């Protein structure tokens, strides 16, 4: 983290939360945020589609942001079951996650589709949180940086910049497993991502663009991870479902 980037703590609720439990969590977070004077971090939650409206109402003007977990690449039309970025903006979302590894793996999402979704997000005025990260087999084969480079160049649209894009580095093998890379390994990949962003978008955009770490971040390891110079926040799954844990991670921002 450096002074010119404001930390971003984002909760990805995945396919969790029904009715009251999601709303209670949102209300608890909103209360914490309202009571916090002069927060030096940005915080947001990405509930499932079904809860976005209610969570948005619960968050009100607390300062906790609202996002979604996916969007379609096209604005409207005959796409049964899909939700467009414009619809999410309509609901009050400011962010949308695209290219999460669970969608790449479970819905065969390839880089070009992720890129099209990020473009749709930008067109709707949303900030795209674009996820990348290697599998365990790729890491074991020494291909981590190659995979990250390929996903970055294929998934980020040309119009990406600090104002409309966040990159989330999530090693697939660290998601939901309780395992994380070492701090040195995380910093190595994040610095590599920033160098790639610098080469493509120029130093000013790359210096402002936030790169989040995701994968088993929790209250015990957050402080060390968030202190790394090219880690600008976290994308948190499991621990974002408990107000206490999620808030504690946010409090760990330098």
Residue (of 122, 121, 119, 193) closest to 157 by Cα position: 119
Nearest-angstrom CA–CA distance, 196 and 189:
10
Q: Within 10 A of 183 (CB to CB), how many other CB atoms are there?
A: 15
176 makes contact with ligand 13P (CB under 6 A): yes
Q: How far is the CB of 34 from ligand 13P (least distance, A)?
A: 25
Please identify which residue in 187, 216, 221, 252 interacts with ligand 13P, judged by CB under 6 A.
216
Q: Are strands 165-169 and 8-12 parallel, antiparallel or unpaired?
A: unpaired
199 three-state secondary structure: helix
Nearest-angstrom CA–CA distance, 16 and 237:
10
238 makes contact with ligand 13P (CB under 6 A): yes
128 makes contact with ligand 13P (CB under 6 A): no
Which contiguous run of DSSP H or E holds residue 132? strand 127-132
Which of residues 59 and 97 has its CB atom nearest to ligand 13P in the complex? 97
73 three-state secondary structure: coil
Active-site option among 109, 119, 134, 170:
170
Residue (of 197, 217, 216) closest to 207 by Cα position: 197
Which of residues 16 and 198 has its CB atom nearest to ligand 13P in the complex? 16
Active site residue 170: yes
Nearest-angstrom CA–CA distance, 138 and 55:
37
214 makes contact with ligand 13P (CB under 6 A): yes
98 makes contact with ligand 13P (CB under 6 A): no
252 makes contact with ligand 13P (CB under 6 A): no
245 three-state secondary structure: helix
Which of residues 62 and 216 has its CB atom nearest to ligand 13P in the complex? 216
59 makes contact with ligand 13P (CB under 6 A): no
Please identify which residue in 109, 170, 230, 245 interacts with ligand 13P, judged by CB under 6 A.
170
Do you know the residue count of the chain?
254
Please identify which residue in 7, 67, 157, 237 interacts with ligand 13P, judged by CB under 6 A.
237
Active site residue 190: no
Residue (of 155, 224, 228) closest to 190 by Cα position: 228
186 makes contact with ligand 13P (CB under 6 A): no
Q: How far is the CB of 122 from ligand 13P (least distance, A)?
A: 20
Q: How far is the CB of 38 from ligand 13P (least distance, A)?
A: 27
Q: How far is the CB of 131 from ligand 13P (least distance, A)?
A: 7
Nearest-angstrom CA–CA distance, 8 and 167:
11
Active-site option among 72, 100, 122, 190:
100
Please give the positions annotated as active site: 100, 170
Q: What residues make contact with ligand 13P under the rule CB under 6 A?
A: 12, 100, 170, 175-176, 214-217, 235-239
């Amino acid at each position: 983290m450096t002074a010119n980037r404001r930390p971003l703590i984002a909760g990805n609720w995945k396919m969790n939360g029904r009715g009251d439990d999601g709303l209670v969590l949102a209300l608890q977070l909103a209360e914490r945020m309202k009571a916090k004077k002069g927060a030096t971090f940005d915080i947001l939650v990405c509930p499932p589609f079904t809860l976005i409206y209610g969570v948005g109402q619960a968050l009100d003007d607390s300062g906790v942001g609202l996002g979604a977990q996916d969007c379609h690449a096209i604005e409207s039309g005959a796409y049964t079951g899909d939700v467009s970025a414009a619809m999410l903006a309509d609901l009050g979302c400011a962010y949308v996650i695209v290219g999460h590894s669970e969608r790449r793996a479970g819905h065969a999402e390839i880089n070009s589709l992720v890129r099209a979704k990020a473009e749709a997000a930008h067109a709707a005025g949303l900030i795209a949180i674009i996820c990348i990260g290697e599998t365990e087999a790729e890491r074991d084969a020494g291909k981590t940086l190659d995979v990250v480079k390929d996903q970055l160049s294929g998934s980020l649209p040309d119009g990406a910049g600090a104002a409309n894009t966040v990159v989330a580095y999530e090693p697939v093998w660290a998601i939901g497993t309780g395992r994380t890379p070492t701090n040195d390994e995380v910093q190595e990949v994040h610095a590599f991502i920033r160098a790639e962003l610098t080469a493509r978008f120029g130093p000013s955009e790359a210096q402002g663009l936030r790169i989040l770490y995701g994968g088993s971040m929790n209250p015990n390891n957050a402080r060390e991870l968030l202190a790394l110079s090219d880690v600008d926040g976290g994308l948190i799954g499991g621990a974002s479902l408990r107000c206490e844990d999620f808030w504690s991670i946010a409090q760990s921002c330098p």
